Amino acid sequence: MALAGSAVKSSKSTSRKASKAKTALDRFGEIKMPDLTYTDKIAKATAPLYEKVRHHIPEIEWPIHAPYVYWINKLKKKRNATILAHNYQTPEIYHCVADIVGDSLQLAREAGLVKEEIIIQCGVHFMAETSKLLNPEKTVLIPDMRAGCSLAESITAADIRLLREAHSGVPIVTYVNTSAEVKAESDICCTSSNAVRVVESFESDTVFLIPDEYLAQNVAKLTKKKILTWAGHCEVHERFTAEELLAYKKADPAIQIIAHPECPPSVVAVSDYAGSTAGMIEYAKTRKPGAKVLLVTECSMASNIEMEAKGVEFIKPCNLCPHMKRITLPKILESLVYMKEEVLVDPAMAKKAKRAVERMVNLKPN
């Protein structure tokens, strides 16, 4: 069953609600914006990092990035901050300033373990909220508060309450790509790497898996449970078609197709493997799928893993996530200097939302 999703605001307004408490800048104080001249000292200090991204950043452009990389790494220590970056961040963020990289589940697990005082979330808003839920004592900053997600925007807490009323007793699993207020109304969360396991953790024969309709349909093929869903879609993955992928296969039948399960089921059906971004990376690196791999997901991921997946040539049917791409080196530096933008979650809501995320994180493997 697919229910029509209504376009709604995410819980960003909740996070932005002016707190009576001091702002992050009041608490931590301002640091002077550093001079961003490309000096010999900066060139030397950043040379090893440039080696990691030289296939993606022309040498002539490095003097623009290098001062940001240098100062972000310096100020991150001064502020006692750690940078969590999703696999879709650009190579200069992923390889040059991130402390921890991963898929949504890995980042959620790591967020709860962060010891530093400040978490800078290089990803989208729901990821920053998840970090705040799992490590509420920390100050969580997102370099651009507008970094949203079409899935998170597709459903509200009121929608979930209506579903509960209409389908009493049916467990509600929400994808982690949702706002804290939606998580607060859910029984448990899931990511693309554990969705089947989460759905099967319930005794009920019928389970809601919302709001990603395609993820739900792909999961339904892997379980005996009856899956009820919602009409939310990822604006990046919904654009891939089976026809375009088959055209690549026709041109070179040896090409292996690796797709994200947010893609339509028709795309997953013509793929050799489907899994979360971490699963896709693992497959490309360890299963040696052949010389040419078509990575059916956000563009930056192939660029980020090319160095590690030696011997694999990635073909990128490129779709960019405009939300992930709002995060840039200059904005990360501003986050560190001006302590912005702080992600806050209403404590009562956070308690309920945290329960749903923790149930997922603590779920034992089968």
Q: By the criterion CB under 6 A, which residues form the site for ligand SF4?
A: 124, 149-151, 177, 234-236, 262, 298, 321, 323-324
Which of these, 202, 201, 208, 211, lies nearest to 226 by C-alpha position?
208
Instruction: Give which of ligand 13P, ligand SF4, none residue 150 binds (C-beta under 5 to 8 Å, depending on kind).
Output: ligand SF4
Site string for ligand 13P, 336-355 (x = CB under 6 A): --------------------
Segment near ligand 13P (CB under 6 A); pick from 17-25, 34-42, 103-111, 213-221? 103-111
282 cis-preceded (ω within 30 degrees of 0):
no
If one asks whether residue 103 binds ligand 13P (CB under 6 A), the answer comes out as yes
Of the pair 164, 239, the CB lying nearest ligand 13P is at 239
Task: Count Cα atoms within 13 angstroms, Cβ side, for 18.
Answer: 1
If one asks whether residue 218 binds ligand 13P (CB under 6 A), the answer comes out as no
Q: Is the dihedral of CA 324, 53, 109, 79 positive or negative?
A: negative
List the interface residues with ligand 13P, window 237-266 (CB under 6 A). 262
Of the pair 69, 111, the CB lying nearest ligand SF4 is at 111
Of the pair 105, 294, the CB lying nearest ligand 13P is at 105
Of the pair 69, 259, the CB lying nearest ligand 13P is at 259
If one asks whether residue 335 binds ligand 13P (CB under 6 A), the answer comes out as no
Of the pair 220, 258, the CB lying nearest ligand 13P is at 258
β-pairing, 81-86 vs 2-3, is unpaired
In the bound complex, what is the minimum distance in angstroms from residue 74's beta carbon to ligand 13P?
29
Q: Sheet holding 292-296: strands in order across?
A: 273-274, 256-259, 292-296, 313-315
Task: Count Cα atoms within 13 angstroms, Cβ side, for 122.
Answer: 34
**Assigned token pair, 6:** 């209504």
β-pairing, 273-274 vs 256-259, is parallel
Of the pair 151, 333, the CB lying nearest ligand 13P is at 151
In the bound complex, what is the minimum distance in angstroms from residue 182's beta carbon to ligand 13P?
15
In the bound complex, what is the minimum distance in angstroms from residue 215's beta carbon to ligand 13P?
10
β-pairing, 81-86 vs 118-122, is parallel
Of the pair 235, 282, the CB lying nearest ligand SF4 is at 235
If one asks whether residue 277 binds ligand 13P (CB under 6 A), the answer comes out as yes
If one asks whether residue 104 binds ligand 13P (CB under 6 A), the answer comes out as yes
Q: Which of 11, 15, 256, 276 binds ligand 13P (CB under 6 A)?
A: 276
List the interface residues with ligand 13P, window 82-101 (CB under 6 A). 87
Instruction: Give which of ligand SF4, ligand 13P, none residue 323 binds (C-beta under 5 to 8 Å, depending on kind).
Output: ligand SF4
Instruction: Give which of ligand SF4, ligand 13P, none residue 103 binds (C-beta under 5 to 8 Å, depending on kind).
Output: ligand 13P
- Dump strand ranges (E) for the chain: 2-3, 81-86, 100-102, 118-122, 139-141, 172-175, 188-190, 206-210, 226-230, 256-259, 273-274, 292-296, 313-315
In the bound complex, what is the minimum distance in angstroms from residue 37's beta carbon to ligand 13P?
36
Of the pair 65, 233, the CB lying nearest ligand 13P is at 233
**Assigned token pair, 191:** 């990511």
Q: At a CB cut-off of 8 Å and minimum separation 6, what does 63 contact? A: 38, 43
Q: Rounded CA gap, 125 and 158, in Å?
A: 20
Instruction: Encode burial over 33-62: b for 16+ CB neighbours within 10 A, e otherwise.
Output: ebeeeeeeebeeebeebbebbeebbeeeeb
List the interface residues with ligand 13P, window 172-201 (CB under 6 A). 177, 191-192
If one asks whether residue 121 binds ligand 13P (CB under 6 A), the answer comes out as no
Of the pair 220, 301, the CB lying nearest ligand 13P is at 301
Q: DSSP string covering 241-304, please?
A: -HHHHHHHHHH-TT-EEEE-TTS-HHHHHT-SEE--HHHHHHHHHHS---SEEEEESBTHHHHH
Q: Contact residues for ligand 13P (CB under 6 A)?
A: 87, 103-105, 177, 191-192, 234, 262, 276-277
